[in-house]
Amino acid sequence: MANEESWKPAKTDKSERLFQLTCVLLYSERGLTKRELFHAVDSYRNDLAKSSEDDYALNKLFDRDKRDLRDMGIQVSNPDPKSDPDDMRYAIAADTFLWPEDVKFDAQELQLLNLAAQVWAQASLSSEANRGLVRLRGLGIEPAASDMLGFAPRLRTHEPSFLPLSQAIEERVEVSFDYRKPEGETSKRTVQPWLLRSIDGQWLVMCWDKDQKAVRNFLLKRIVSKVIFRSVQVNEKDSELVRFESPSPEKVQEAIADLEMHTASQSAKLRIKRDSQAWFHFNLLDEQGKDAEIQISYMDLHLLAEELSEYMHDITVLSPPELSKALRSRFEAVANAHA
Amino acid sequence: MPKLKGFNGEDRYNFLLALVGYLGHRGEVSVEEVSAHFELDANYLVKALKSLNDATAQVSGFEEWPFYIDIDLLDEGVVSMTTAEVIDDVPRLSTRQVAALSAGLSYLSSIPEFAANADIKTLIEKVSSGSGLGRSELISIAPGSIEAGAETLRQAILSNRAVSCEYINRKQEKSVREIEPLRIDLTGGVWYLRGYCPINKAVRNFLIEHMRSIQILDREISDVAAKVGEIEDATYVAEATDTEVTVEVTPEAYRLISEFQTISEPKDVGSGTIRTQIKVGHLPNLGRLIAKYGGAARVIEPAEAREVVRNYALSALGAHPHEPDREVE
């Protein structure tokens, strides 16, 4: 029937192959050798029939499928890793595969998860979140009706470095990139990335800087090169990624606290013109009187300058002098770029 | 929300796993219910079920059918699956799925509207414990600042009411105006209200920080406002009278192009500099928008636009007589 044919996914669609591979691996309790697997999965078997003695392409495909499955959270393991390569068995252990029985969600929680999945404005993260949601829907709970209608919080990432960095954090791979300081000086950084953080809409990566031998925070928008995964040559043909040990949660917490202390220790004093946009921006009270003087703390002088440059006609910088200087040099750069 | 028509590759694989787990739990269920539960087109669902029924697994030389779907019942709109207990529950989440969902939750908990919801912390832990690799935080979001008017506006939206407020526009003019609120957007730390403006007869963006003394009115929002369907996600909605402006941005100013509607494919012109064309509604606004990036964003043409930016920068430097910019809202 034509109808029967039309559901079939495109030939290039790997979902059928991956699904069959998963079933076969789950089916066999003691695992299967590669040879057995190549016969058990339709598309492998077809390739096997076509290929010559050398199964190089098929082996590559199998490696790629294993990696795809791992990326999707399905762990293909070797129950007996010391065996001969030809006898090596592959399996999916039920305890790494199945959702833990004691973790349950209620309707309210599923509604929050629904909202959380909608938060990502960026395509790839939005699909990861939605795939996670589809799996959780498999648990069969109906989400509660939303009382958060009319509210659309969105997380945006404008920086191309976001995805490679999140992947490097996940896989604990050292990376390097070029970082441009606000003064214009660019240098190569080699880091062990720990965590991506969003602070007031700005993304930064918290990491261990290998050259500085210290924890450093880098703003993603100042990363001006591709993010390179570091690797070393292990022999003539192959190279291996340079991995690192995950930092302890305590270390990460300490680094977060350090950054907060750093922010608290830096402050600027501004005079704000009454009833101006800046007055509204800083949410000043509508008291009788003249202009207001306020003190604010900041994480990064140049980020503050960027924020304040929208209100140049409403504010006077009282301190620090570096802030006035940064503002001036930003506007000079703009004037020069448009001369 | 429109139902999905189907998907490919990773999404299809992911769905098949979830579907099998769901049916294992659920027992006999109508096609309609499954399709509503997964927000998926019923035709696609039936196709997917038939493909499950056809799936085979060769084990020790024998052909096995891991899933048996009663096709006669399926034709009557009922799903009934018997499995060989290969998969009888939902799989764990991948690290990336956990990271994306937890970061989304962490973002919600950073918003005052949700901050009171203590469940979010527990929920993040629960989601993480369902990952194949255990706990892992890749992304975290620092608590944001409170926008005073947002809660009142949200109440107005939920009860379909118009609001009145004091609003300061870009000309520094304060006025009392009425807005029919439709949606609150929080993007990159900035709170906007999407609302129908009865004077301009159009959906406009209002910066919530520019609003004061917000009052919920007795009158409901107008029919026109209520009929506004999907609200676009882009902060800026283009209009026919817009000026096309060519800009070049370095990474420090990439944000500019994702906040605008670009009309040409952004092109890399070397060393991370991207050139594209954006639409600008009101040219005098361009000064403030471009100058913010301190030279990382540059207008190439038209000359008129370059001049606007230069004059804005010069006036900020005090080297030029102050010319306040004008903006509609």
* Average pLDDT of every residue of chain A: 86
**Percentages helix, strand, coil for chain A, rounded to the nearest 5?**
45, 25, 35
Distance from CA of A235 to the nearest CA of B (A): 30
The pLDDT value given to residue A288? 67
ipTM above 0.90, yes or no: no
Check A138 against B100: CB less than 8 A apart: no
| Angle between helices B42-54 and B9-26 in degrees, nearest 10 | 80
- In the three-class reduction of DSSP (H, G, I as helix; E, B as strand; rest coil), residue A291 is classed as coil
Report pTM: 0.81
Establish whether the linkage from the previous residue to A247 is cis, with ω within 30° of 0: no
The pLDDT value given to residue B4? 62
The pLDDT value given to residue B229? 59
A-to-B residue pairs, Cβ atoms closer than 8 angstroms: 376
Find the angle CA(A132)-CA(A138)-CA(A144) to the nearest 5 degrees.
Answer: 85
Candidates B241, B234, B251; CA nearest to B283 is B241
Tokens of A260: 């907060």
Distance from CA of B135 to the nearest CA of A (A): 10
Check B186 against A154: CB less than 8 A apart: yes
Measured CA to CA, the distance from residue A259 to residue A118 in angstroms comes to 29
Find the angle CA(B267)-CA(A305)-CA(A260) to the nearest 5 degrees.
Answer: 105
Check B57 against A200: CB less than 8 A apart: no
Phi-psi region of B300 (alpha: psi -120 to 50; beta: other; left: phi over 0): alpha
Q: What is the pLDDT of residues A219-238, one digit of tens each?
A: 999 999 999 999 998 888 78
Determine the average pLDDT of the residues in A19-35.
Answer: 85
The pLDDT value given to residue B212? 85
Residue A260 clears pLDDT 80, i.e. is over it: yes
The pLDDT value given to residue A217? 96
The pLDDT value given to residue B6? 66
Provide, as residue numbers in chain B, all residues whose Cβ is less than 8 Å from the Cβ of A14.
9, 13
Distance from CA of A182 to the nearest CA of B (A): 9
Determine the average pLDDT of the residues in A289-311.
Answer: 90
Residues 210-269 of B with CB under 8 A from A: 210, 212, 231, 233, 250-255, 257-258
Residue A18 clears pLDDT 60, i.e. is over it: yes
Residue A254 clears pLDDT 90, i.e. is over it: yes
The pLDDT value given to residue A219? 96
The pLDDT value given to residue A10? 58
Predicted confidence band of residue A214 (pLDDT cuts 50, 70, 90): very high
Pairing between strand A267-272 and B81-83? Answer: unpaired
Check B105 against A75: CB less than 8 A apart: no
Q: Average pLDDT across each block of 10 residues of chain B; the chain has 329 residues. List them in order.
A: 65 91 88 91 89 79 81 89 76 89 86 73 85 66 75 86 87 84 82 86 85 90 76 58 88 85 79 88 85 93 92 80 41
